[in-house]
Homo-oligomer: A and B are copies of this chain.
């Protein structure tokens, strides 16, 4: 009896909808707080208050703080993919590969707190990636695998597994970026110095010659500004750091 009533009304009634402005305000405010003040600034009460709502808005729109952060993180993956999509496909596949490394680092430096959740295993407002999330986020790696294939076919890298080569690049650049964001790399071996040496070392390690590698690394450095740093993937989840990291 009661069940029939519910079925009839489910089809026909379109009750109150959530205010779309509230949802986007919550995301924008959360992003700003994270960028300006870091993870501890992110609380349901703080975000809701600045949006002029109660904390219930976080629950109805996102299911809770975890849902809000989840959305932010997926936007972070999309941003990385956008940066990668702007890396050109040139006659020098090794330079392209190195530019992917630069794009990866640029993304992390632009959104450090999000990066820590995306790839650093960090937890934010109680949210940690699920296994599914993690494997989803790896889709950006296909760009690197495809580029490694081109490097192998061009004879610059040893014949071998392109996916494995891509993993070597990824894990190494991830390590440098993580330590950089954590302020572990100081003069004389600061982050820029180590990064440049590592880019060369990585491609030589998988088969390139030192001379060719040096040229490709240099060429990729010249392309950085135009192909990567000029990219605006959308309203910045986290603002560009106030101090320029590149002299």
Contacts and interface: CB of A to CB of B under 8 A. Distances in A.
Contact of A174 (B175, B181, B197): B175
A238 B119 CA distance: 23
A122 B202 CA distance: 27
Nearest to A203: B205
Interface string A152-194: 0000001001011001101111111111011111101100011
Contacts of A168: 194, 197-198, 201
A221 to B, nearest CB: 18
A171 B167 contact: no
A179 B122 contact: no
A241 interface: no
A181 B158 CA distance: 29
A212 to B, nearest CB: 13
A179 B185 contact: no
Contacts of A224: none
Nearest to A181: B121
Given A122-B121, A204-B205, A205-B201, A171 B194 contact: yes
B131 A121 contact: no
A96 B184 CA distance: 24
A201 B161 CA distance: 13
Interface hub of A179, A182, A205, A210 (most chain B Cβ within 10 A):
A205
A115 B150 CA distance: 36
Contact of A164 (B122, B131, B178, B189): B189
A134 interface: yes
A198 B186 CA distance: 24
Nearest to A175: B175
17 contacts: A39-B123, A120-B122, A120-B182, A121-B178, A134-B183, A135-B186, A138-B184, A158-B210, A168-B194, A171-B179, A172-B175, A172-B176, A175-B176, A175-B177, A201-B202, A204-B205, A205-B205
